[in-house]
Chain A
Amino acid sequence: MSKTTSIIEAKDVDVFYGEKQALNGISLDIPENKVTSLIGPSGCGKSTFLRCINRMNDLVDICRVSGDIRISGQDIYAPEVDVVALRANVGMVFQKPNPFPKSIFENVAYGPKIHGLTANKAEMEELVEWSLRKAGLWNEVKDRLNETGTGLSGGQQQRLCIARAIAVKPRVILMDEPCSALDPIATAIIEELIDELRENFSIVIVTHSMQQAARVSQRTAFFHMGNLVESGNTKNIFTSPKDERTQNYITGRIG
């Protein structure tokens, strides 16, 4: 494997929901400007781990996180960390497309607006166009930016959510099964988009589809029952898994 720098370094991360332990001592490095996919059967903790990276777990009252997660060397669970600033640097795309019930323009402009990224209207328009172009949506929506975002098709909505996430120019984008609600054609478009986006962003994607993990990611981590079983180059994981559980999962014997 060629030399890579890690953007996210997680060490001994434990997560508890009340009394129940959801993650057991996860240590995982996520490389910069690459796509890392997290795979594993339902309930294995991959989404939980993803939500630790932008501290969305803070919203769950009974959730407790311990261990050490660093982004660019900085501890994101340190008491002085501003969660708002963290989430501006770590964008998220959800399983179900969830655009705001506002216009397409406002959907993309919302993040830059609350973070004060643009000085005037012209800059904002430029940024919105850049984001929509990056998300491969510009040509489809440029004539109807004032129409509501919820009127788009499912695949377009998900690309709008991606445009919304990249508009604040985060360093990391987390994707939680972004294609599970989409048809194969929309999925293919998004996968292509993910491949382009890794030039500028580091991407972590949770997916249930092993083909998708194989297609879009360079690194893969396999979770099972709250443990990180194995991680490494996607090719290695899929061709010569070291652990029997990984072997069983990718061949469809457990899951």
Chain B
Amino acid sequence: MTNMFTTPSRLRKARAAAERRFRWFGLIAIGISLTFLFVMVGSIILKGRGALSTSGIAIVVDLNPDNVDPNDVKGTRFDSLMKKSLRNTFPDVKSRKDKKKLYGLLSVDMGFELRDQILENPAILGGPQKLWFTASDDIDLLLKGAVDMSLAEDNRRISDMEAGWIDTLTAAGDTRRKFNAKFFTNGDSREPELAGILSALMGSILTLLVCFLVSFPTAILAAIYLEEFAPKNRLSAFIEVNINNLAAVPSIVFGLLGLAMLLNVFGLPRSTPLVGGLVLSLMTLPTIIIAARASLRAVPPSIREAALGMGASPVQATFHHVTPLALPGILTGTIVGMAQALGETAPLLMIGMVAFIADVPSSIVEPAAALPVQIFLWADASERAFVEKTSAAIIVLLVFLVLMNLLAIFLRKKFEKRF
């Protein structure tokens, strides 16, 4: 007698094959997406790693009173002193063209660097001193091994003569690589070796701050009103449709709106985090409203009934009981919206945050750059050395994003309650 629990083997095989197939499809899909993620993050980190270090060159500068008057350090012409010191280091360089190349070993900021070192430590004045200076971007790439010296001389940025100078300096122990603190303390610059991310980072932080302060309270109040108090009629249905549509409007349109309204009609200052934040808040507003309404709707009606049954007024029931329970969901939606805003470039281009801003902004009405715009600008720059800066800026942006998401997870865990 056959067992009644065995099924015909053909059916069973087909079913088992379908299960296996589906499992494999799933694994392959996950594998593909993880591969892309690793390739992307990996290549960015590999490329951006270089920007975290910078090269220095040591040369002897004669700081005798003839060259630098100890009583009038600020009046000294440091650029010519630096040039003289470079000529003294390589005395056989004679032609005008070669001298220009020689001066190009160091960053154009070499004069300021010398002055800063003297102001910081006046004791070095009086005689010859060996001091460290930032190497120029091409030399930096050479020292990092990023220049292919096997190419014909015409096809590379470094001539054999420059490479020879660097070899001499390296042999004497007068080149070094150190952590690139300037990348985190400087604003943008035309010179890659001096360019830093701080102005863009501060710009992004201030912009997001404005965006958060405008969109978070507005969106929450709008969501609470629509979900808990608004009568369910044609008007509220119409508003709901419009909010959903607003979430799907391309961001550049918001940029145009900001340009037309905020800049041209209201005359707010161009390129500032204030305007950037306002434009981005138009974008995040619908995102937060939709997320907040969804999480308000997810609060069990029994909680509302319990509060109202106790004699709480609708406002008390909403703010004492319903909103706190919806808060984790609202915060998640907010962070998602803010993360979108952080990565948004197009609307910022429209309101002029694409301008070259070297100064670090300290208030929301000063011109500022933003991280994604900075990435766009550096990716577009012609100097080779900006390639690693671009990747490094992307790393900073990603780290910022990860920190924001961690904050979201932390807040979620903190406010989460069982019901």
Smallest CB separation, A164 vs chain B (Å): 7
| A87-B417 contact, Cβ under 8 Å, with A98-B302, A98-B305, A110-B320 | no
Q: Which of A88, A110, A115, A151 has the most chain B CB atoms inside 10 A of its CB?
A: A110
A59 touches B418 (CB 8 A): no
Q: Which of B312, B316, B325 has the most chain A CB atoms inside 10 A of its CB?
A: B312
**B311 in complex: contacting residue of A94, A96, A98, A168, CB < 8 Å:** A168
**B309 in complex: contacting residue of A92, A101, A150, A151, CB < 8 Å:** A92
A84 touches B311 (CB 8 A): yes
B306 at the binding interface (Cβ < 8 Å): yes
| A96-B302 contact, Cβ under 8 Å, with A61-B231, A148-B417 | yes
- Interface residues in B, total, Cβ within 8 A: 21
Q: Which residue of B lies closest to A86 (CB)?
A: B311
Question: What's the interface size class on A, roughly?
Answer: 20 to 34
B308 touches A98 (CB 8 A): no
A56 touches B310 (CB 8 A): no
B303 touches A98 (CB 8 A): yes
A148 touches B305 (CB 8 A): no
B418 touches A87 (CB 8 A): no
Smallest CB separation, B262 vs chain A (Å): 40
Which A residues lie within 8 Å of B149 (CB)? none
Q: Which of B300, B311, B316 has the most chain A CB atoms inside 10 A of its CB?
A: B311
**B418 in complex: contacting residue of A92, A98, A150, CB < 8 Å:** A150
**B417 in complex: contacting residue of A84, A96, A101, A114, CB < 8 Å:** A101
Q: Which residue of A lies closest to B231 (CB)?
A: A61
A91 at the binding interface (Cβ < 8 Å): yes
Within 8 A of A (CB), among B301-328: 302-303, 305-313, 316, 320-321, 325
Q: Which of B306, B307, B310, B320 has the most chain A CB atoms inside 10 A of its CB?
A: B310
- When chains A and B are docked, how far (Å) is the Cα of A54 from the Cα of B305? 12
Smallest CB separation, A47 vs chain B (Å): 12
B306 touches A87 (CB 8 A): no
Could you tell me the dominant secondary structure of chain A's interface residues?
helix
A111 touches B311 (CB 8 A): yes
- When chains A and B are docked, how far (Å) is the Cα of A87 from the Cα of B313? 10
- When chains A and B are docked, how far (Å) is the Cα of A161 from the Cα of B306? 9
Which A residues lie within 8 Å of B308 (CB)? 56, 59, 87
B232 at the binding interface (Cβ < 8 Å): yes
B419 at the binding interface (Cβ < 8 Å): yes
- When chains A and B are docked, how far (Å) is the Cα of A85 from the Cα of B312? 9
B302 touches A114 (CB 8 A): no
- When chains A and B are docked, how far (Å) is the Cα of A53 from the Cα of B135? 85
- When chains A and B are docked, how far (Å) is the Cα of A56 from the Cα of B305? 8
B305 touches A84 (CB 8 A): no
B310 touches A165 (CB 8 A): yes
| A91-B310 contact, Cβ under 8 Å, with A101-B417, A101-B419, A150-B419 | yes
Which A residues lie within 8 Å of B300 (CB)? 98
Q: Which residue of B lies closest to A62 (CB)?
A: B232
A130 at the binding interface (Cβ < 8 Å): no
Number of A-B contacts (CB under 8 A): 68
Which B residues lie within 8 Å of A100 (CB)? 303, 306-307, 321
B305 touches A114 (CB 8 A): no
Within 8 A of B (CB), among A151-169: 151, 161, 164-165, 168
Within 8 A of B (CB), among A73-131: 84-88, 91-92, 94, 96, 98-101, 110-111, 114-115
Which B residues lie within 8 Å of A161 (CB)? 306
A101 touches B325 (CB 8 A): yes
**B232 in complex: contacting residue of A61, A86, A114, CB < 8 Å:** A61
- When chains A and B are docked, how far (Å) is the Cα of A115 from the Cα of B310? 9
Which A residues lie within 8 Å of B307 (CB)? 100, 110
Q: Which residue of B lies closest to A149 (CB)?
A: B419
Which B residues lie within 8 Å of A151 (CB)? 418
Which A residues lie within 8 Å of B310 (CB)? 87-88, 91, 110-111, 114, 164-165, 168
A94 touches B231 (CB 8 A): no
A87 touches B309 (CB 8 A): yes
Which B residues lie within 8 Å of A96 (CB)? 302
Smallest CB separation, B330 vs chain A (Å): 16
- When chains A and B are docked, how far (Å) is the Cα of A177 from the Cα of B231? 30
Within 8 A of A (CB), among B268-323: 300, 302-303, 305-313, 316, 320-321
Within 8 A of A (CB), among B215-262: 231-232
A98 touches B306 (CB 8 A): yes
B305 touches A94 (CB 8 A): yes
- When chains A and B are docked, how far (Å) is the Cα of A111 from the Cα of B321? 13
**A54 in complex: contacting residue of B309, B313, B321, CB < 8 Å:** B309
Other than the known A56-B308, A100-B307, A150-B419, what 5 A-B pairs have Cβ atoms closer than 8 Å? Answer: A84-B313, A94-B309, A100-B303, A115-B311, A150-B418
Binding site for B on A (CB under 8 A): 54, 56, 59, 61, 84-88, 91-92, 94, 96, 98-101, 110-111, 114-115, 148, 150-151, 161, 164-165, 168
21 A-B pairs whose Cβ atoms sit less than 8 Å apart in the complex: A54-B309, A56-B308, A56-B309, A61-B232, A84-B313, A87-B308, A87-B310, A91-B310, A96-B302, A98-B305, A99-B306, A101-B417, A101-B418, A114-B311, A114-B312, A114-B316, A148-B418, A164-B310, A165-B309, A168-B310, A168-B311
Binding site for A on B (CB under 8 A): 231-232, 300, 302-303, 305-313, 316, 320-321, 325, 417-419
